[in-house]
Structure 1
Amino acid sequence: MSTHDVPPQEPESGAEPDAGTGPSTSPAARGRTGRIHLPAHRLRWGLLAVAIGAVVAALVTMLISGFRSGSHGLEAHDPGGAAPTGRASAAFGTARSGDCLTWSSAKTLDLNKVNCADKHLFEVTADIDLSAYPGREFGPGSRFPDSLRFQELRDEHCAPAAADYLGGKFDPRGRFVVGMINPGEPGWRNGNRTIRCGLQVVSANGNPTQQTVGRVRDSDQSRVFDPGTCIGINQNLPTNEPTDCAKPHAYEVMSMVDLGAHFTGSTPNNGDQDKFMQDECAKVAGDYLGGQDALINKTLTIFWDNLDARSWLVGSHKLNCLVGKGSQGGFSTITGSAKGDITIDGQAPVPPPSSGRSTPQPLPGAAPAPIPPQPR
């Protein structure tokens, strides 16, 4: 059996990446507003840079690919494995819409049905018998589809199934993605043409290894993590998978902010979100990091995501305040929790010369400088 994942769709709003040039240097460290464009990535992040001795608004557009590897998406499958037998075969063969599945190995998919209130990896949205479709492609003796064809089938059948299953309330930028389990090549040879569509949480390399609890329709789909969580790093990009903060990582979660408690009605625009998140993240940074000067002395940056209308309208209203450090082409590698001693790319951070000495500090609770309008 195999599972294939659909990467989140690209947001309709936000800046486009520079296609032919490398990242430009943000002038935020010099006290001006700046933007960084990272080519070939697609999730817009807003960043707040704190300059020497004062909070300075600095929006930095970063497009981070969280769920895609190559042009054909991500998959975890074992088409050459043994034919499914016993409990795994029974779990696959009887799984219906609303069932929840788990497994211990992504290669063999040793499936077990579990109560959706317990930890699980996959919530079934539909079971579809491909043999019921006209034509010879899925008929007796037909060839086992390759991974690209299965991804096309997933897009054709499983994406609509997810929308129907959730009554149209699926967040394409949320923490759940559309997946599919096929019968595997041995099962296909034995005449099994049924695929199971579902929803799952995946890491950046596509492995559906992040467990969830409860049904998706009853869950907040916001893509957020608990405070204190560190997110791994691979080739200067976040993996979207939690890791031990003592290990190399891209950034750390400082807090979770519910924009729904502040904004009511229609989706707040990015500018209003940025102003609110700038204030919230700046307020939490001192306490989280251990002092007003800690962010500056550790040469770190505060940043956050934005919510678009598709997310807002289905009830995804939460964002994280994050702390990390941008670098050429992505993120620097941080080792250690930002609450204590850290290294950045293997070196201890060197505070700016004037930090904590000659430059006036903002008063406690002072609002950051306003964010100038940014081109979209």
Structure 2
Amino acid sequence: MSEDKFEMPSDPAGPSGLPEKKTVSANRTRRVLAAVAVGAVVAAIATIAISGGMSQNDKPAVTIGGGGAPATGSANENAFTSAGAGDCLNWTPATESGGDRTDMAKVACDSVHRFEVAGPLDLSVFPGAEFGPGSRYPGALRFAELRDEHCTPIVNSYLGSRFDPKGKFSVGLMFPSESAWSSGDRSLRCGLQFSTTTGELLPFAGRVADQDQSNVWDVGTCIGINLNLPTDPVDCTSPHAYEVISVIDLGTQFPGTMPSVEDQDRYLEGVCTQAANEYLGSAEALRNKTLTLFWDNIALESWLAGSRRVNCSIGKEVETGGFAAITGSAKGEILINGVAPVPPPAAPEGRSLPTPLPGAAPPS
């Protein structure tokens, strides 16, 4: 098989006829936003859109391919057609190879790869004429439906029902290019991939079954921003929505059954605040930079799949929802929407008195 074996699907077209932009679903997790004053933390609950919060249905169906008929007997063809459950595949990304993916090969799963095969899907055995000889090419939308209908059960079976649908990995489907389809190819592969919100496949090492699937980023990672919503990791010198300051393993604090969201919040409020103070260098830095501290919660399906880790992060929420654009790492000087933050007035010394209600007697 040549570089023409697989198709790189485009995003589904919207009403304008242009590809619709992938957005981040707000239903993945609840985030706790903490307004940090000097020496104290006030937690406020909010549901916001965070990178990695897309449902699996939002993930691109496949991100591998080209066009044209396969070259019989090529190494690329053999790697794909002989790949079975448990095999791992790697290749040079199109951005680096100029679109030539003839170097696809099976690799050891403990080395870097871009796709872990969970099982084959042969459309030639499906009843009816939809996938029969001379049938019309399904296209990206139909392939996405096939992924959801058939690959998700295959992945769940492959992982023994320990797939985290809100975790780091997503269900993927490798399918023939349009020209290969016209030549009668109906072989597909279901599997696991680590993809960005824009569909780029990121390399990873190790079998998914052997690792924590928690959807976390390394400390110091900055997550980009588009229309106030988080996107993919970027250099912190570029505009971004938030910066990851810590990775917390809830399993160390809660070694038994899954803690309630309230118990998670009570624990994370303290450890994330401490992490922010250490990351920024002082207890006043977060307040002076007018930033917001927030953290993840783990959902039941993620806990049952074995996910235990969450991120503590800092960003700047906006009243209309989402985030402001931050430039620069919060460890140093930053700009928020292009303007340097102005520290709020210092809290008055001594006991603060509440403002009396209209008509109320003055405090004695």
Q: What TM-score, normalized to structure 2?
A: 0.82
Q: Which protein is bigger by CA-based radius of gyration?
A: 2
Q: Write the distance in 1 (CA, Å) between the matches of 2:225 and 2:298.
A: 23
Query: Hey, what's the Cα distance between the residues in 1 that align with 2:350 and 2:86?
Result: 58
Structure 2 Cα separation of the partners of residues 194 and 360 of structure 1: 74
> Displacement of 1:102 after TM fit?
2.0
2:27 paired with 1:42: yes
Which residue of structure 1 aligns with residue 17 of structure 2? Answer: none
Aligned residues with identical type, % of pairs: 50
Correspondence for 2:209 among 214, 217, 236: 217
Distance in 2 between residues matched to 1:360 and 1:182, nearest whole Å: 68
Instruction: List runs of 5+ in structure 1 lacking aligned partners.
Output: 6-38, 362-376
**Residue 161 of structure 1: which of 145, 154, 157 is its match?**
154
The within-5 A match list for 1:215-294 is 215-239=207-231, 241-294=232-285
Is the contact made by 2:26 and 2:47 (CA closer than 8 Å) also made in structure 1?
no
Counterpart of 1:149 in 2: which secondary structure?
Answer: helix
Q: Which residue pairs with 2:130 in the alignment?
A: 137
Deviations 1:145-179 (A, max 9, x none): 12111111111210001001001111111101000
Partners of 2:341 and 2:83 in 1: how far apart? 52
Say whether the 8 Å CA contact 2:222–2:233 is kept in structure 1.
yes
Residue 234 (structure 1) shift = 1.8
Greater Cα offset, 274-283 or 322-331: 322-331
Contact 1:52 1:296 in 2 (8 A): yes
Alignment match, 1:298: 289
Change (3 A) 1:77 1:83: farther
SS at match of 1:198: strand
Q: 1:142 to 1:360 in 2, by over 3 A?
A: farther
| 1:127 partnered with 2:120 | yes
Cα drift, residue 237 of structure 1: 1.0
2: CA distance, partners of 1:211 / 1:80: 19
Give the distance between the partners of 2:115 and 2:53, measured in 1 at CA: 16
> In terms of mean alpha carbon deviation, does 121-130 or 72-81 score higher?
72-81
Partners in 1 of 2:8 and 2:158 — Cα distance? 19
Shift of 1:142: 1.4
How far has the Cα of 1:285 moved from its partner? Answer: 1.0
Measured after TM superposition, the shift of residue 47 of structure 1 is 2.4
8 A contact 1:103–1:121 mirrored in 2:
yes
The offset of 1:65, in angstroms, is 6.7
Task: Name which of 171, 182, 185 aligns with 1:178.
Answer: 171
Deviations 1:274-316 (A, max 9, x none): 1111111011111101111100011111111111111111210
* Residues 1:98 and 2:86 aligned together: yes
Aligned to 2:317: 326
Aligned residues between the structures: 325
1-structure distance, mates of 2:93, 2:69: 15
Q: What residue number does 2:46 align with?
A: 60
1:309 aligns with 2:300: yes
User: What's the CA shift for 1:183?
Assistant: 1.3
- Residue type of the partner of 2:30? W
Displacement after TM superposition at 1:52 (Å): 3.9
Distance (whole Å) between structure 2 residues aligned to residue 305 and residue 242 of structure 1: 17
Q: Structure 2: how far apart are the matches of 1:237 and 1:103?
A: 31
Query: What SS does the aligned partner of 2:155 have?
Result: helix
Deviation at 1:68, TM superposition (A): 5.4
Aligned partner of residue 265 in structure 2, secondary structure: helix
Q: 1:74 corresponds to which residue?
A: 60
Which of the numbers 168, 183, 189 marks the counterpart of 2:182? 189
Cα RMSD for the two superposed structures: 2.7
Distance 1:134 1:248, change over 3 A: same
SS at match of 1:312: helix
Structure 1 counterpart of 2:341: 349
Q: Distance in 1 between matches of 2:25 and 2:187?
A: 36
Q: Deviations over 1:55-113 (max 9, x none)?
A: 212122214474659x9753556887233443332222222111111233356654332
Stretches of structure 2 that go unaligned for 5 or more consecutive residues are 1-5, 11-23, 352-364
The answer on whether the counterparts of 1:75 and 1:207 sit within 8 Å (CA) in structure 2 is no
Contact 2:79 2:106 in 1 (8 A): yes
Distance 2:62 2:122 in 1: 21
Distance 1:330 1:108, change over 3 A: farther
Partner amino acid, structure 2, of 1:129:
D
Q: Find the partner of 1:118 among 104, 111, 114.
A: 111
The code of the aligned residue for 1:120 comes to H
CA–CA separation in structure 2 for the residues paired with 1:281 and 1:334: 20
